[in-house]
Amino acid sequence: MEFNWKRLSALAILLVLLIVPPLAIDLGSNIMNVMVTLFIYIILSQSWNLIGGYTGQVNLGIVAFFGISTMVTHFLWKEGLPIFAAIPAGSLSAAILAALIGLPTLRLRGMYFAVGTLALAQAAQVVVANIFVRQVAMPASFTTAYSLAPRYYLGLFLVVVATAVVYFVTRSKVGLAMVAIRDDEQAAQVTGVKVFKYKVIALLISAMLAGLAGGFYAYVRLSYWQISIVFSPLWTFDALLAVVIGGAGTLGGPIIGSIFLVVLSEIFANTLGQAHLIVFGFLFILVVLFLPQGLMGGVDLVRAGMYRAWRSVRRPTIV
């Protein structure tokens, strides 16, 4: 395997830039909080990217996987399990839930998977809210031990993990099958790709990633949260928005999209209030209609345009 050293070293520099400054100087809890939120978004949108962007199955209920993992992680952690074991356990519970809904709905084409996942998310919200009290809080011993730094680094670690998982899955045989299914399911089936099997694999990995995001959320927000917030369809929409705006089916798309989204909402939430969500809605539709490759595709377009401009400038001197 040939490494792209330029890209690798750029990645290393980026990681150092993300790791060192919080150690060296105090960035303040504001910036750190925004970064932690950003990490949750990136993990969740990478999860959606795998099933929606690479495999082409529109999942409208990713919040169910996020939420179930938040609950499981929260209670296991509260019972004394270390957080490093609680988050994987939450992630696993998300995968089990995914298998329950995925096995019947992924067999069929069309809207069934989208409807099934949406129904699952709504039903999960109702069931969990009925079983537990409507809000959940950690005991005081946890809240006094709260500090942002370990959350920042765990979040960064999980972002790297999620991105690496997507990178290696999409560059494997499984990834090839996933893209084949997205581009033309019938053709993939005819050429011998086991469509159903690979769809389920994609869903399970995606659910586990969403579970990581959920577990991390349980680690971050421990003082007080409401179950309706953890299971709110807002999470699904945000992940979808980040992936589509950044560029579905690209590794960098969810990252760029999440940064774009978090920065914009930081700017607009104060000036526009509720209306900023409407702006996001219009933005989303415009991107779906006119920029199917998202911002990543936009970058390529600009690059191609610049290259063409450069060529046309250079050509006379060559001749």
Partner 1 sequence: MDTVYQTVVIGIAVGALYGLVALGFGLIMGVMKFVNIAHGSFIIIGGYVAYWLFTLLGIDPYLSIPAVMLVMFAMGLILYRLLFSPLLKYPRAEMRLDKSLLITFGVTWILDNTVTLIWTPDTRSIVTSYTGSTLDLLGAKLGLTGLAGLILGVLAALALNILLTRTYFGKHVRAATEDSGAAGLSGVNVQRTYLISCGIAAALGGVAGVVIVSSYSIAPTGGLNWLLTAMVVVVLAGEGNIAFILPAGVILGLLQSVSTLVVSPAYQQPIALVVFILVLMFRPQGLFARKG
Among 285, 302, 304, 309, binds partner 1 (CB under 8 A): 285
Q: Contact letters (x/-) for partner 1, 49-68, by CB under 8 A?
A: -------x-x-x--------
Q: Which residue, 144, 158, 149, is CA-closest to 222? A: 144
Among 51, 72, 95, 120, binds partner 1 (CB under 8 A): 120
269 binds partner 1 (CB under 8 A): no
Q: Cβ(98)–Cβ(227) under 8 Å?
A: no
| Least gap, CB of 275 to partner 1 (angstroms) | 7
End-to-end CA distance of the chain: 39
Query: Of the two residues 129 and 161, which places its CB atom closer to partner 1 in the complex?
Result: 129
114 binds partner 1 (CB under 8 A): yes
Among 14, 16, 164, 281, binds partner 1 (CB under 8 A): 281
Show contacts with partner 1 in window 164-203 (CB under 8 A).
185
Q: Which residue, 130, 296, 120, is CA-closest to 207? A: 120
Q: Cβ(37)–Cβ(151) under 8 Å?
A: no
Among 284, 293, 298, 299, binds partner 1 (CB under 8 A): 284
State how far Cα 253 lies from the chain centre. 10
239 binds partner 1 (CB under 8 A): no
Two structure tokens written together for 183? 């581009």
274 binds partner 1 (CB under 8 A): yes
CA distance 250 to 86: 30
247 binds partner 1 (CB under 8 A): no
Q: How many residues sit close enough to partner 1 to count as binding (CB under 8 A)?
A: 39
Half-sphere exposure at residue 5, Cβ-oriented, CA atoms within 13 angstroms? 0
Q: Cβ(297)–Cβ(286) under 8 Å?
A: no
240 binds partner 1 (CB under 8 A): yes
Q: Other C-beta atoms within 10 Å of 295: how many?
A: 20
Residues recorded for the chain: 319
Q: Summarize as ranges the residues that interact with partner 1 (CB under 8 A).
A: 56, 58, 60, 101, 104-105, 107-112, 114-116, 118-120, 122-123, 126-127, 130, 185, 233, 237, 240, 244, 274-275, 277-278, 280-282, 284-285, 288-289
